[in-house]
A and B are shown apart, each in its own frame.
Chain A
């Protein structure tokens, strides 16, 4: 297994993203997270609205 010191000096291989590309990827990830969070909230609220007072009415 190569040690970390020898890895440091080596040129990176494969696709190397520019800082701008990394920034864009990060902003896309944040947007996806916000959309998923919003969807969870929407499903939760609609469930409460549809069930109404029955949301607490369940046999123990």
Chain B
């Protein structure tokens, strides 16, 4: 055995008795358990919820709320990795994650996820407000139990219903700032909720082999690529007008209206491309383009809402 291989074996420790007694994880492994990229989207959308809420909130309280929401989201990611380690090991996209790679034991991931879940909810409840804490607790429960443990392996509608977990953060942020739930926070929830299926199914279209190998009943695996393309188009047809509605209802300004119409048109055009190009490299390329643009699309919508709010004289106290 080479030095490198020998060291990796020692560090993995999965087959040694020491694995249970000594942790082999580095700090970066624990950070990876928090799914930092997902967390960054959660923080961003929650920030928009805090800023858009019709209430004055002290910056320190807003920061505390954001921190708790971020930690809560990370905790649910850790619980997801604990539960899904078996299927993560079978998929190219996920097999390098800390638990399937053997750098973190399942027990460590579970303890880490539970500690952060309970801690983030309690701190949010004590330092900010109880409604926000209750919503955060529900979000963690929904992602870790309803989506991860139940829906993911049992229905092709897994990411449709499970998408609600990713859609809650702006509502939690809104509740943290205002102590209530407004119509606009529901709209923000719905935008992310209807954005999730086209986003994930675009990914699933060109990663369907991965999901099939792991036995995850994603829509392309169960219903086929053709039906998935149709569903992507249908959800995009609902999503685009929904994303324009804050402008149409007078909740957002002209900048948001312009961006939501333009970027929505691109999103729709890409969804049509995915629907029409069904075979070969062109089909994969179309799905990859839609997946990549969907991230930019959601970012643009929320970024413009944020900029419009922080630039308004009312928000600046002028």
Contact = CB atoms under 8 A, between A and B. Distances in A.
Interface string A26-45: 01100100000000001101
A18 B7 CA distance: 9
Nearest to A23: B26
Chain B's interface size range is: 10 to 19
Given A20-B7, A21-B11, A28 B21 contact: no
Interface string B58-83: 10110010010000000000000000
A60 interface: no
A18 B8 CA distance: 11
B200 to A, nearest CB: 32
Contacts of A27: 26-27
Nearest to B58: A49
Nearest to B128: A46
B7 A42 contact: no
Chain A contact residues: helix, strand, loop or mixed = helix
Chain A's interface size range is: 10 to 19
A1 B141 CA distance: 55
A17 interface: yes
B186 to A, nearest CB: 29
A46 B27 CA distance: 27
B21 to A, nearest CB: 6
Contacts of B30: 28, 31
8 contacts: A15-B18, A18-B10, A24-B25, A24-B27, A28-B26, A31-B30, A49-B61, A50-B127
Q: Which 10 A-B pairs have the closest CB atoms?
A: A49-B60, A31-B27, A15-B18, A24-B26, A46-B127, A27-B27, A49-B58, A18-B10, A15-B22, A45-B60
